[in-house]
Amino acid sequence: MKFFYKGIELGFPESVYEPREDSLLIAKVLEEKLEGWKAENGKAKFILEIGCGSGLLSIIAAKSGCEVVASDINSDAVACARKNSELNETTIKIVQSNLFDNISGKFDMIIFNPPYLPEEQNRENKSWAGGNNLEIIKQFIRGAKTHLNADGKILIVISSLSKPEKIIKQLSNSGFNAEIIAEQKIPWEKLFVIRASERK
């Protein structure tokens, strides 16, 4: 299957999450943030994408001059993102990792489009089901702090079905300031992008 976004071409098999409304919403927010960084001093930023899927967000960041690490637990996604990075002539370090298990170093931004629906995960729904109590997002929050630079930011996209106020509370309890910075209504739910930074 093929997907096109602003000059970026992506190919992906059925086993890899297809870019959808949530991907496009966080892509828009990411582009706005990257433009702001360019306006500041033009210095390259270090970006980590957890759960990169086909690699769309990582490719956007790499094309903006960032140094990017992309990871996914799905070996098919790792292979797919690697091919798409080459197809779009970007340099991205791509690793297979369950959240932060195989990640080292600190980053200026960590991006995560997680499996965010509150359902028990199985083989068929693992691209969108985050556990009955959103355990995957909770694990991400616990690990993110040790991989974020002092002034770093987290961007995470979630659904109204995953109770964004609970995610914000979880981030706050873990020492982050968090707020919703973008939202979009789609037929069956509302999507939100949350930005978080470490509380000073």
pLDDT tens across 172-194, in order? 999 999 999 999 999 888 999 99
Give 45's strand partners: none
> What average pLDDT does the segment 22-51 reach?
86
The structural domains of the chain, with segments of one domain joined by +, span: 46-198
Q: What are the contacts of 125-131 at 24+ separation with CB within 8 A?
A: 127/17, 128/17, 130/162
* Residue type at position 72: D
> What average pLDDT does the segment 35-39 reach?
72
CATH of 46-198, one of 2.60.40.10, 3.40.50.720, 3.40.50.150, 3.30.70.2190: 3.40.50.150
Q: Measure the CA–CA gap between 153 and 111, rounded to whole angstroms.
A: 9
Residues 59-86: tens digit of each pLDDT: 999 999 999 999 999 999 999 999 999 9
Q: How confident is the model at residue 148 (pLDDT cuts 50, 70, 90)?
A: very high
CA atoms within 13 A on the CB side of 108: 13
Give 30's strand partners: none
Rounded to 5°, the CA angle 22-26-27 comes to: 110
Residue 161 is classified by DSSP as G
Q: Measure the CA–CA gap between 54 and 186, rounded to whole angstroms.
A: 22
